[in-house]
A and B are shown apart, each in its own frame.
Chain A
């Protein structure tokens, strides 16, 4: 007989539930199965009403982030065997509003991403005949790490500050801001500072550091935020000491 493992999956059906609850499912324990495979097995064979997000199954799309045994992970990259002997508790990402079962509301996160202006900003757009904006490998290396973010929101589910202060822009969005701030072709730092040096910006971060621990792409958002704090403080001092200067 095939060995099985129990999944305790958080359910919430807004049309009939006021509170979420956990439902148990027994799924085959297979060597190559990740938690997402187990959820797909449940959906296909046991309970078709279960809702969750997923897409690529290879750690690129960032859709299948959930809390597995109270830790934010990509369910496509978490093997059942890592969670032995079970039961495995699967819940929606912490601190987010739950729309249904394991599906969370991402609207707030999307707004925060937009707020940091994650695109190249230049004072003057170069006419096309003048050619490309060139960059050396060293200049690219400056921001490479921060460009690896897949917007999976695991860092938000790991950050108690994001939970306590919903207005906090949060780890991924600030790391993304840094991705452009450190880009040699970009001139938008001042515009991003307006958003990030004020209320709900970088100084809301108390350096719990868990965002970097859970990041599946080693972006190190905690590092990005601390570096922003250092440069933000330096810019502030510069504006005090040299008020007539351009900061």
Chain B
């Protein structure tokens, strides 16, 4: 039957589209391991987990504060353990990586102009880093100058 459909010699031919089997490539869950930019992307995304982990630690601090001096002392004691210090160092490194990679991407999302001139990406990145350093110094001064 299909054969007669393929060759239609009537005055009102019905065309049949040639639809061969297509090959659909499948993506492995390890699609990101073969290319450097993809590895960097996945690492950058994973750093958000560490940012979130630090947010949880901060919430614990607020909770301890609200529970009184005893709870606070207990938390500070736990923070002083080698495990906690190690954890903080790891979190700090990932948060720094997170911040650097995102600051470097800032010009992609921001098109800023002074008059008719577009501000170059490098300037936006530099301003971000300078603000970061200035705010970090301000917070450090606030904490250390008690």
Chain A: residues with Cβ within 8 Å of the partner, total of 33
Complex interface residues of chain A between 183 and 226 (CB less than 8 A to chain B)? 206-210, 212-213, 220, 222-223, 226
Q: Is the interface of B mostly helix, strand, loop or mixed?
A: loop
CB contact between B35 and one of A70, A100, A164 (< 8 Å): that residue: A70
Is A95's CB under 8 angstroms from B20's CB?
Answer: no
Within 8 A of A (CB), among B97-132: 105, 108-111, 116
Q: Tell me whether A208 and B37 are in contact (CB under 8 A).
A: yes
Assess the B27–A226 pair: CB atoms within 8 A.
no
- In the assembled complex, the Cα of A95 lies from the Cα of B110 at a distance in Å of 30
B24 contacts across to A, CB distance below 8 A: 97-98
Contact with B along A69-98 (1 / 0, CB 8 A): 010000000000000000000000011111
A125 within 8 A of B: no
Cα-based distance from A229 to B21 in the complex (angstroms) = 38
- Would you call B41 an interface residue if the criterion is a C-beta within 8 Å of the partner chain's C-beta atoms? yes
A residues less than 8 Å from B21 (CB atoms): 14
Indicate if the CB atoms of B22 and A213 lie closer than 8 Å.
no
A96 and B21 CA atoms in complex are apart in Å by 14
Contacts A160-B32, A227-B109 known; A12 to B23 CB distance under 8 Å? Answer: yes
> A97 and B22: CB pair below 8 A?
yes
- Contacts A14-B21, A20-B23, A98-B23: A226 and B109 contacting too (C-beta < 8 A)? yes
Q: Cβ of A160 and Cβ of B111 under 8 Å apart?
A: no
| A246 lies within 8 A of chain B by Cβ | no
B92 within 8 A of A: no
B45 contacts A206, CB within 8 Å? Answer: yes
Out of B22, B38, B109, which one reaches A208, CB within 8 Å? B38
A160-B38, A164-B27 in contact; A207/B105 too (CB < 8 A)?
Answer: yes
Query: How does the 8 Å CB contact mask read for A160-188 relative to B, with 1 for contact and 0 for none?
Result: 10011000000000000000000000000
- Within the assembled complex, what's the spacing in Å between the Cα atoms of A95 and B109? 26
Contact between chains at B23 and A19 (CB < 8 Å): yes
B31 at the interface (CB under 8 A from A): yes
Chain A residue nearest to B22 in the complex (CB): A97
**In the assembled complex, which residues on chain A have CB atoms less than 8 Å from the CB atom of B22?**
14, 97-99, 105
- Provide the residues of chain B in CB contact with A163, threshold 8 Å: 27, 31
Most-contacted residue by chain B among A96, A98, A105, A223 (CB, 10 A): A223
Residues of B within 8 A of A138 (CB): 116
B25 sits at the interface (CB 8 A): yes
Question: How far in angstroms is the closest Cβ of chain B from A131?
Answer: 26
- Which residues of chain A have C-beta atoms less than 8 A from B3's C-beta? none
Q: How far is the CB of A66 from chain B (nearest CB, A)?
A: 14
Q: Is B146 an interface residue (CB 8 A)?
A: no
Closest beta carbon of chain B to A137's beta carbon, Å: 10
A-B contact pairs, 15 of them (CB 8 A): A19-B23, A20-B23, A97-B24, A99-B22, A100-B20, A163-B27, A207-B108, A208-B37, A209-B108, A210-B38, A220-B108, A223-B108, A226-B109, A227-B110, A230-B109
By a beta-carbon cutoff of 8 Å, the part of chain B in contact with chain A is 20-25, 27, 31-32, 34-35, 37-38, 41, 45, 105, 108-111, 116
Given contacts A99-B22, A209-B108, 13 further A-B contacts (CB under 8 A): A14-B21, A15-B20, A17-B23, A98-B24, A160-B27, A160-B32, A163-B27, A207-B108, A208-B41, A210-B38, A212-B108, A220-B108, A226-B108
